[in-house]
Structure 1
Amino acid sequence: MTCSSFGKCGSCVLWQMPYSEQLKMKSERLKEMFSDFEIPQIEVIHGSDEHFRARAEFRVWHEGDKSFYAMRKRKEDGRGVIPIEECKIVDKAIYEIMNPLLREIEKNENLRFKLYEIDFLSNSKGELIVTLIYHKKVDESIAEDIKKLKEKFKNVDFIVRKKGRKYVFDKNYLIEELNVAGKTYKYKIIENTFSQPNRQMNQKMIEWALRNSSHLKGDLVELYCGNGNFTIPLSENFKKVIATEINKESIEAATFNAEINNRDNITFLAMSAAEFSQLKKENSPLLSSYDLKNVLIDPPRAGLDDKSREFVNSFENIIYISCNPETLHRDLKTLAKGRKIKAFAFFDQFPYTNHMECGVVLERDG
């Protein structure tokens, strides 16, 4: 991939390295990092190195009567942001609308004045949600200006945000379609809640989890389930699934997603991992019909806290999706005791960065 923002924008720090070398460098780094564990050969899973981000956020830079998208500077260039001409890592639908949208906003001083940030969310059909974030008072008068934008960009739903206020024009969600192992799954993805940013890699991550859980016996618990991204396809490998998520909007989306995918063997609970752990410790009647032998976790960058790690360690088999290999390594010091690491994958979610997403399957010895 080539991009006119390479060497200026601080996002793509590996811009001078060919993509094949990036994959080799990252996989070798992971091999060295986890050399104190007995791991199988690392499976390197990647997709396209351009137009892969279905979510993107850009600051807006104003100079005179012109406006530009802006990204943070490279570390060596100091703090702050710089204007950029393009961003080749975003989804094609986002890439194609970015500059035409900004040119239209430039023509309307009410839309342009104190516009601080523009966020994009896209789906596989090329539909978008565009969120305009302002550092000024915003009221209903902006509706007419948004209506004019909507006439220009018919595949876009707009949202306007100002601290403490939010205006939704049409709807605040998209329906995403993922093709996983020959099947199509549908998901409601809601603006300003977490969803996997790299659609192609997300499909491959789910396929990997499906393949590596197909032989497991017993039921599945999933913690940090979000909108049911992994839950819904993996429910086909288990008789029963129970999944928890603390974000109420995400759990509502997950329930909706189970319904539209005709999955009736999933129970979603709006609670934290700690709260669910307490239910299990108390032998709650809610769990009496489950054979809870397996757990899937996809925690935030901080990984598992001490109590969550202890709880996860009580299951026979663990599928751990990690966005931070350092906290994964720390957690495996506990979770790998008495278990064999059956599979280890590196998912390259973010080419041209040092980010490394991992997947690990641990099964109880004997």
Structure 2
Amino acid sequence: MLKGIYLTLMIGPAVPVPAPQIVMDSLSNIQVTNSKDRSGFQLTFTVGKNSPLLTTMLPAGYLDPITTRVIIIVTLNGMPHVIMDGIVTNQEFSPSSESGKSNLTITGEDLSVVMDLIEKVIPYPAMPVIARIYTALAPYAALGITPVVIPPIIPVTKNPVTEGWETQKMTDRAYIKSEASRIGYIFFVQPGPLPGQSIAYFGPDANLPMPQPALSINMDAHTNVESLSFSLNGLAKTIRIYTILDPVTRKIPIVIPAPNISPFKPPLGIKPNLPAKLEYATQSAQLSPAEAAQDILGFLLNNSSAVSGNGSLDVMRYKGLLRARMLVGVRGAGITYDGLYYVDSVTHNIKQGEYKQNFTLSRDGLISNTPFVNV
């Protein structure tokens, strides 16, 4: 594809195999988006009316939705990176009157889409959250998905005799995401590290504390990004007031203010962004002490960042792949916005002879709290 960069595309039901040459020759564009919620991909093929992809392979079900699995691997300087392992969900064909200009577009999502196909009704008597999540993820081991489940900081288990039990009445993905949102966790499926393997992560929104090479702007020959912009949202931060009843008499109200700061994603600037909004939690007084503590902790973990950044880069000039859910340094943007950021999402745009990435960054606080960044 480019000097030092090689693309591997694997397609097939259950266990994908390398795509044949006729498919690779027709491939004109790949777009892959990795984020902390869910990831997706889009493959665009440019074909003629007599192309075997249209006349033979497509009618035979080669790219049928739901049954077709796609793995995309980028090898950079000898190191393979699995940037997508997903399922085809949509197929579009745009015929053209010009010879060889028809477009076939294949769209899909990561393997978590398989968890969203069948609604289930499953009781979980006397089972804590971690046991329920492992039970819901167990059937997907056949797809190479390894669960990584972090127990909640404040566990709550209902007594089935006096309090009843939890019952799942939705798809597995919807149920896991609802449980994650309730305790302030996130859930996503990340491809890799090897082809055919994925990690299903259920836990706090914590980025790997390993900074990637810095994004440099306005630094002449050292500039490695094409564009970069920042914004500061003064309404992003909130203080929520919780009112609970004392655990002994259940009559005396106790007021607890909760700031919008996550212990797993601390501010990366020395000038904090102050909260501008005040809101009151509803129905918190009806919860048990353990449930109220879990609700408060969930709010703390689901914090929002006031500073956000957007930009694009050329992989050849950056000399590496920018990865989501990790840290990255920024330099050349000025004293206010330089420093470390969390990488929220990355979109890979791959064409013949071109590999670019769009990215979004976030953090709390202005002015870097570190004297240097990894270059």
- TM-score, length-normalised on structure 1? 0.27
From the two aligned structures, give the one with the greater strand fraction. 2
From the two aligned structures, give the one with the greater helix fraction. 1
- TM-score, length-normalised on structure 2? 0.26
Q: Which has the larger radius of gyration?
A: 2
